[in-house]
Every structure is written in structure tokens, then in C-alpha cells.
A and B are shown apart, each in its own frame.
Chain A
Amino acid sequence: MYKKLGSYLALVAAYFRLNLRSQLEYRGAFLSQAVAMFLNNIVWIIFWGLFFHRFPVLRGWTMNDFITLWGIVAAGFGLAHMVCGNVLILASLIAKGQLDAWMMYPRALLPHILLGRMSATACGDALFGYLVYLILVKPDVPHFLLFTALTVSVAMAFVGFGVFTGSLSFYLGNAEALSEQWRFAMVTFSTYPATLFEGAVKLLLYTLIPAAFVGYLPVEALRSFSPGDAACAVGGAFAVLAIGVLAFYHGLGRYESGNLMEMRG
């Protein structure tokens, strides 16, 4: 069990190195995309700065809590797509019948597909997330360790959610647009506290758009250093990942090859 886990971690490290080198071949484009995403996120911090300048507390949340929220969501999202970049195009890979090449390898299919690509903008997200938390929130060591651990849980939830929405292509033919819009809704809702919402929408944030597990609960865990909230965030992330994996392997039975000739370097 541990040997297998170690072997897969080695695979993750190998793919990460390979993908990073591949990105750095086009250094200018890579840097401009990463910096662009960093700047994009900064705009939101400015927005919240202006907002909290006028209204210092919103449903008990302060500017620091919103910075933490943006930090953890961006770092988790960044981490997820730096390592598992193919999750962003999974719906398209399935719809176009491009899984064949990945089926030839002795590794488990899903992790191997996901590891095959790195998103350049995700690097900007990850950098932004850790930096704003360190520089603006100035956490003590235990808070930073919890933050870092929770970014891994957030990343798991994003990957699981991406796998689930991408796997809809097995059932619907081409779920590219649906997957993208759904992901967009998840990212957008995750950057606001769940306390802003009520009724059915609040329920959605723990089910169909599980944004509470990547934004609200991890921040609550950090705010009060609460093991309960941290456990809920991690538990929710595992559940989302498990549902994504189940949806993928269940849908795989319906997969139709695109009969494409493909070469992978």
C-alpha cells in the first residue's frame, strides 16, 4: 500500500518536473500568463480593500478573512491545476475520444491523464495565494501550517469537482461548455463567504456547487483555529474527489475511441 503510494508520488514529482520544463521552453509566454493571473487576483484584493474601507465588517468577516479566503482558494486552485492541469480539458479529451493514448500505460488511467499537463495561469494563482496570505495576513507558524495543509484539501476538491464535471462528457457527448460554466460557478461562489447566501443557494454550496469546502469552511477553520471546521473541509474535499473518481470510472464504460493517431513525447 505504502509502496504503491510512494510510487505514485514519485510519478507526480516526475510529471511536475517534466511539465514545468516544458512550460519553461516558452519562458516569456509562461511568465506573462502567470503574472497576468497574479494581477487579475490583485484587482479583487483592491476591490475588497475599497469595500472594507467603507464597511469594516461583513457578517462577522473582516478584510483579513477575505484575504485569507482569496489566498486559500487561489492557492488551492493553483496547486490543483499546476499538478493536474488536464482536469481543465477532461471534458474535451473524453468528447474527442483522446483517452486512448493514456490507456496504453501500466499506471491507473485517471491520475495519469490528470498529471499530463500543467496550467501556466495556475502557477500565478498558487504564487498569489501563498504570498498574499504571508504578506497581508502575516500568520503565525501554526496558522500558516494549517493554511498550507488546507490548500492541499482545497486542491483535492477542485480536482474532484473538475473530474466530475469533465466526466459528464461520457454521458452527454460533449459537456465542454457545461463543465466550464459549472467550474466557473464553483470558483466564483467559493470567493464569497457562505453566510452571504440563504436557503436553497446555501444548500447548493455544499452539494451541486461544493464551494463551501474550498472557501468558507477552510477560512472558518483558520479564523477560529477549529479542528471541527478543518475536518469538515477535508472530509468534504475527500467526498467531492470520491464522487468525481466514481463518475469517471462509471462513465468510462461508455467511452468511445476517437481512433486518432497521436504521438506523445
Chain B
Amino acid sequence: MKALNKYLAVASVAARSNLAYFGEAASRLLFLAVILYIFMRLWKVTYTETGAAQLGGFSLEQMLWYLAVTESIMLSAPRVALLVDEDVRTGALTLQLVRPLAYPMYRLWTTMGERVVRFAVNGLAASVVAWVLVGPIPWNPLGLLALLVSLPLAFAIDFLGNFLIGLGAFWLEDTSGLVLIYSRITMILGGMLIPLEFFPDAVRPIMQALPFASMVYGPARAFVRPDLAELTVLVVRQGLAVLAFSVLIGLVYRMALRRVFANGG
């Protein structure tokens, strides 16, 4: 309990620190608004030309709200891998190791605090834009519950993936390429640009099982098309992904620490 309080305090400081730079967060909102407007036009034309009320099981309203959630998730991601990379390269990691905080947990809770604020700002702005452009989607408390349950797990998976890449700095010259590849894979396989329903039937089940879908597509779809059985499957998948990544990070982190050399001075 004491340890949890400690990490909650870390998250709270990160969240408040992020609130202090509200202007920086707000500057990303124009980007969000432009993207959503363009997607709204793209899908509106597509729905009109096909004459369909639903595509891939999504109505136009659901599609835009889906994209509002996926864009908010992606744009709220802090630069975890680059921070870990920097800690490794500059040696700042050795300072963290002597503190009464486990370094991975410290980074996890800092990221969570920061991301909650960023997501709240983005989500609010995206909701306003989506509301103005296509109006509301039918209100369902289960959708909100699904978002509240699945988002923290989605953020945790994303953190673990990024943290793992950041640890790569112990062995690689430059991890920025890996960060970019990871983020682009997340954009496509995570369903940020287009729901997985639009992928070919042969690959869809594989993509749904991958952790990328649990980070972006899963929470967004659960919000716009809530279904208790699907939410349960999503949360189980997310839990398994968190577990698998945690074990992997545990192994890699242990190997990495053997490469830390600290000199006094």
C-alpha cells in the first residue's frame, strides 16, 4: 500500500507538471481538429457514394467518434522510449537506480500521470469536434465504462512496448528508428486510421489478437459499439499482453543492468 501511494504521488506530480504546460498540449488540438475534419469528409463522401447506412458495422457517426478516440489515444502518447534511451545514454539511469523507486515503475507511473492529462485534453477537444461535425452517438453507459476499463490497460501495454524499445539503447547506437517503426505499426495494425473491420478477412483475426489492436482499436471500438462479451475478451487480451510484456521486460531489464557501470566523482 505504501509503495502504491509512492507511485501514485509520482503519477500525480507528472500529471500536474503536464497541466503546467497546457499551452503545449493545446497546440496539438489544431492538428487533431484538422485530421478529424478531413476524415469526416472522407467518410461522409464514402458513405454517400456507397449509399450504405453502415460500413464495416459502423455508422458515419460511429466512424467519426471511433476516429476521435483513436486519434486522442495516439496523440496522447508520451515519448517514453526516447526518455529511457536518454537515461541510458547520459547515465541518468544510475541516479534513478539509487532512489527508493524501481526505475521501470517510476517511468510507468510518470507516463500514466502524463498520459491521463494529455488524453483528457485531446479527448475533450476531439469530442467537441466530432459532436459539431456529426452530432452525438447514442449514449450508452457501457461504452464509457469500457473506455474507463480498457484505456489504462491500453496505456500500460503501450508503455511496456516503448520501455522495451528504450532499453534497446543498451545494445543499439540509435533507437529512434525503432520508435518510429513501432509507432507506424501501431497506426496501421492498431486501427488508428481505419477500423480492423476493413482489413482483408484472412488477416483480421490475427490483427485482432495482436497487442497493437488492444491499444487503439479495442478501446475505441468498445466505446462506440459497446458489448459486454467483447469487452471481456478485450480485457483478457490486454491482461495477457501486459503479463507477456512484463515478463519480457523483466528479463531484458535484468540483462541490461549487468551492463551498467557507475563511477563515483
Out of B37, B38, B184, B198, which one reaches A51, CB within 8 Å?
Answer: B198
Question: Could you tell me if B42 and A185 are in contact, using CB atoms closer than 8 angstroms?
Answer: no
Q: Are A177 and B184 in contact (CB under 8 A)?
A: no
Is there an interface contact between B27 and A181, defined as CB atoms closer than 8 Å? yes
B199 near A189: Cβ-Cβ < 8 Å: no
Q: Which one, B28-36, B79-87, B101-109, B245-253, is touching chain A?
A: B28-36
Q: Is the CB of B31 within 8 A of A189?
A: no
Given A59-B49, A197-B41: A43 touches B27 (CB 8 Å cut-off):
no
Judge whether A50 and B198 touch: CB under 8 Å.
Answer: yes
Stretch at the interface among A29-37, A100-108, A225-233: A29-37
Contact digits for B201-244, partner A, Cβ 8 Å, 1 yes 0 no: 00000000000000000000000000000000000000000000
Give the docked Cα–Cα distance between A32 and B200 (Å). Answer: 31
Please, how many angstroms separate the alpha-carbon atoms of A31 and B177 in the complex?
10
Q: Among residues 35 to 71 in chain B, which have CB atoms less than 8 Å away from a CB atom of chain A?
A: 35, 37-38, 41-42, 45-46, 49-50, 55-56
A39 touches B41 (CB 8 A): no
Residues of B within 8 A of A197 (CB): 41
Given A50-B199, A181-B27, A58-B45 contact (CB < 8 Å): yes
Residues of B within 8 A of A (CB): 27, 30-31, 34-35, 37-38, 41-42, 45-46, 49-50, 55-56, 173-174, 176-177, 180-181, 184, 187-188, 193-194, 198-200
List the 5 shortest-distance A-B pairs measured between CB atoms, nearest first: A36-B180, A43-B184, A47-B193, A32-B177, A196-B41
Interface residues, chain A, with chain B CB atoms under 8 Å away: 28-29, 32, 35-36, 39-40, 42-43, 46-47, 50-51, 53-55, 57-59, 177, 181, 184-185, 188-189, 192, 196-197, 201
A-B contact pairs, 9 of them (CB 8 A): A28-B173, A36-B176, A47-B188, A50-B198, A53-B200, A54-B55, A58-B42, A58-B49, A185-B30
